[in-house]
Structure 1
Amino acid sequence: MLTLQLEQSKKYNRLINVLAITIPVVVAVLLGIRQKVDLGHWTTYLPHINAVINSITAFLLLVGLYFIKQKNVSAHRTTMLMAFILGFVFLVSYVLYHLSNESTPFGGQGVIRPIYYFLLISHIVLSVVVVWFVLRAVYFALSGQITRHKAVVKWAYPIWLYVSITGVIVYFMIAPYYQH
């Protein structure tokens, strides 16, 4: 039985590693496509929806932390799975927007400009990094490997929360420059 578990663990670990590399690469390739696909005007609303998704995700992450501190594992699991699902919805929405719309240049000047780019770059870099941690955290939790789950969450949680919050901040900083 231990061998079967070990083989299954290796299989899932391999899958997580492949996804953690493939997802950012595919997103980067899709973002790099110069020819935009006309999916309709509705896609111009996606950044606003993404900001809402990031806000809800940040809220769910905080609520999930509260639940686990209260030892309410069931509520914690539900809350964190909702945050995970929202992360997937965000990813799809983000790709659809950038597949069909040009990137919006930041128009801010002065001291706000380097602040914006620091937040944007750290947000992007950490959003790539967090994929691996979150996938592992979810796998360990769902497979009952709670000790390993806790070890990964020490990294996943603060990075994921930072990415969710900075996503909203970056949105509010660039929102005045969106053209509809």
Structure 2
Amino acid sequence: MNNSNKKTLEQRFRLSIIIVSIVIPIAVAILFTVKLKDFGIEVEPLSFLPPIYASINGLTALLLLMGVMAIKNGNKKVHERFMTMAIACSVVFLVMYVAYHMTADSTVYGDVDGNKILDVTEKANAGSIRYLYLFILLSHIALSIVIIPLVLITYVRALAAQFDKHRKLAKITFPLWLYVAVTGVVVYLMISPYYAN
């Protein structure tokens, strides 16, 4: 078989990347709405998870920064390790995030009394910071969906030693992934005062 007939690694993974990029957001959206108690499974809310998965987001951001520093210093192996660990952290975050939301009701920003409804006083007390929170949250969610195929394609291009294409896409992937990781921490810090005890 000559080289023109051989599929590149990226071409071989294309369908898998497309499937994963579609299935993960849909599965998370569905699982986010599913509560174990709806199936008669009574479990205590996994309320210890949010600070852990927020910390994992922070660790992901740190790994991304260290990975970029490593490649700028010409250390490809260290760069690869940091990026692989960042992907692993993102997967662990996702599992914990879904597990938490399958056992606990969503928290509403500004909901001081924990009844899941913002009354006029709560809304007034939350003020314009609530809109900032919603903007950060929505941009975090939207970009976390966009980042899935970008990360996977960028990673596969590196594995395939297509470094020019890898670098070009990484210039887009890196800042978006870093934003998602950092805003994951910010969202936690902003909403945590309203978590039910």
Same-fold call, TM cutoff 0.5: yes
The 1:8–1:138 alpha-carbon spacing in structure 2 relative to 1, beyond 3 Å, is: closer
Deviations 1:3-29 (A, max 9, x none): 564165433011101111110011111
Counterparts of 1:21 and 1:100 in 2: how far apart (Å)?
24
Paired position in structure 2 for 1:167: 184
1:148 to 149, 160, 165: 165
**2:136 is equivalent to residue 135 of structure 1:** no
Deviations 1:74-111 (A, max 9, x none): 11111111111001101111111111111111116112
- Matched ranges for 1:62-81 at <5 A: 62-81=65-84
- Matched ranges for 1:96-111 at <5 A: 96-107=99-110, 109-111=126-128
Paired position in structure 2 for 1:27: 28
RMSD of the TM alignment (CA)? Answer: 1.8
Q: Give the TM-score normalised by the residue count of structure 1.
A: 0.92
* Partner SS state of residue 44, structure 1: coil
* Partner SS state of residue 43, structure 1: coil
Counterparts of 1:96 and 1:138 in 2: how far apart (Å)?
27
The 1:5–1:178 alpha-carbon spacing in structure 2 relative to 1, beyond 3 Å, is: farther
Task: Report runs of 4+ in structure 1 exceeding 6 Å deviation.
Answer: none
**2:108 is equivalent to residue 89 of structure 1:** no
Shift of 1:33: 2.4
Counterparts of 2:58 and 2:6 in 1: how far apart (Å)?
37
Unaligned runs of 5+ in 2: 111-124
* Partner SS state of residue 52, structure 2: helix
The number of residue pairs the alignment matches comes to 180
The 1:39–1:48 alpha-carbon spacing in structure 2 relative to 1, beyond 3 Å, is: farther
Query: Which structure's CA Rg is the greater one?
Result: 2
Q: Which of 104-113 and 154-163 deviates more? A: 104-113
1:46 to 49, 62, 65: 49
Q: Which of 134-143 and 8-17 deviates more? A: 8-17
Counterparts of 1:179 and 1:106 in 2: how far apart (Å)?
12
Partner AA of 1:12 in structure 2: F
Paired position in structure 1 for 2:15: 14
* Partner SS state of residue 32, structure 2: helix
Counterparts of 1:8 and 1:76 in 2: how far apart (Å)?
20
Counterparts of 2:134 and 2:175 in 1: how far apart (Å)?
20
Counterparts of 1:147 and 1:5 in 2: how far apart (Å)?
20
The 1:7–1:169 alpha-carbon spacing in structure 2 relative to 1, beyond 3 Å, is: closer
